[in-house]
């Protein structure tokens, strides 16, 4: 039994580790249901659930499982001075920053419910953000050499506006995307974002020259996510 409904949870401002634990709990729940389904007849199987968490985090740097700690350019004392924390994670990708003014989306989806693999899933996350930015007259694209959503790809001024790093197990996802809306970009000066030392970062606020309505952007992203994944948000 497949289900394209997605339960939406707005967590507001939430500590990174607490949210990570929440993701793991939901992912485990979905995988357990999949395992149960595999052991029983089709008519007895229950649909697996899908979730989408939206959150802002206090200042935090996170490192992907294949990332290089040297891409964090701060030591422990300097991190404390910035009121920031640091976590090694089990997602893909290298290092990134999360903080106030940044919309972080964590989809916990059973990809089999949507008939897609991991590559298409990441493409869809990028597409969600690209369609959102179109409504702000911002032309965003993909970089063939890096995940995420970028502006002016191939130009000296190439810059990332949305980072993506995911984990998948049994075709169930966690972690996700981080869209810079009113983000304090100064915090990116203390890392090589996503492992790149030669590319910049940007935000909606920086591109448009004025602080943006965070809740409005959040609503558009949610709408475009449902559109791209052909899902019902509940």
* pLDDT tens digits, 73-108: 776 667 776 778 988 898 988 889 999 999 999 999
Cβ atoms of 53 and 105 within 8 Å: the answer is: yes
Mean pLDDT of the chain: 91
Of 30, 130, 164, 194, catalytic: 194
* Residue 94: per-residue pLDDT: 81
CB within 8 A of 154, min separation 6: which ones?
none
Structure tokens at 177: 């995307």
Count of C-beta atoms within a 10 Å radius of residue 59: 16
162 is a catalytic site residue: no
Query: Dmax of the chain from CA atoms?
Result: 58
**Is 154 buried (19+), middle (13-18) or exposed (0-12) by CB count in 10 A?**
exposed
Q: Which of 174, 211, 188 is nearest to 55 (CA)?
A: 174
Please state the three-class secondary structure of the chain as a single string: CCCCEEEEEEEEECCHHHHHHHHHHHHHHHHHHHHHHHCCCHHHCCCCCCEEEEEECCCEEEECCCCCHHHECCCHHHHHHCCCEEEECCCCCCEEEECCCEEEEEEECEHHHCCCCHHHHHHHHHHHHHHHHHCCCCCCEEECCEEEEEECCCCCCCEEEEEEEEEEECCEEEEEEEEECCCCHHHHHHECHHHCCCCEECCHHHHHCCCCCHHHHHHHHHHHHHHHCCCEEC
pLDDT tens, position by position, 152-180:
999 999 999 999 999 999 999 999 999 99
Q: Domains in the chain, ordered, with CATH?
A: 57-102+115-229 (3.30.930.10)
| 32: confidence class by pLDDT, cuts 50, 70, 90 | very high
Q: Look up tokens 């290298």; give the residue.
A: 94
Cβ atoms of 228 and 131 within 8 Å: the answer is: yes
* Residue 144: per-residue pLDDT: 92
* Residue 40: per-residue pLDDT: 85
């Amino acid at each position: 039994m497949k289900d394209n409904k997605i339960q939406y949870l707005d967590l507001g401002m939430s500590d990174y580790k607490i949210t990570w634990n929440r993701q793991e709990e939901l992912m485990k729940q979905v995988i357990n249901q999949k395992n149960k389904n595999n052991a029983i007849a089709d008519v007895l199987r229950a649909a697996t659930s899908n979730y989408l968490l939206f959150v802002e985090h206090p200042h935090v740097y996170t490192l992907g499982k294949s990332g290089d700690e040297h891409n964090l350019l701060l030591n422990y004392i300097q991190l404390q001075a910035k009121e920031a924390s640091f976590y090694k994670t089990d997602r893909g990708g290298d290092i990134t920053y999360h903080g106030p003014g940044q919309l972080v989306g964590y989809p916990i989806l059973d990809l089999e419910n949507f008939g897609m693999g991991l590559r298409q899933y990441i493409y869809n996350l990028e597409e969600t953000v690209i369609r959102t930015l179109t409504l702000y007259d911002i032309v965003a694209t993909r970089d063939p050499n890096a995940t995420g959503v970028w502006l002016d790809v191939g130009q000296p001024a190439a810059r990332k506006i949305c980072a993506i790093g995911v984990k998948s197990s049994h075709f169930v996802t966690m972690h996700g995307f981080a869209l810079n809306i009113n983000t304090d970009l100064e915090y990116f000066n203390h890392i090589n974002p996503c492992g790149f030392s030669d590319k910049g970062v940007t935000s909606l606020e920086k591109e448009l020259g004025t602080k943006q309505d965070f809740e409005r952007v959040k609503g558009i992203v949610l709408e475009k996510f449902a559109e791209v994944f052909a899902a019902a948000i509940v």
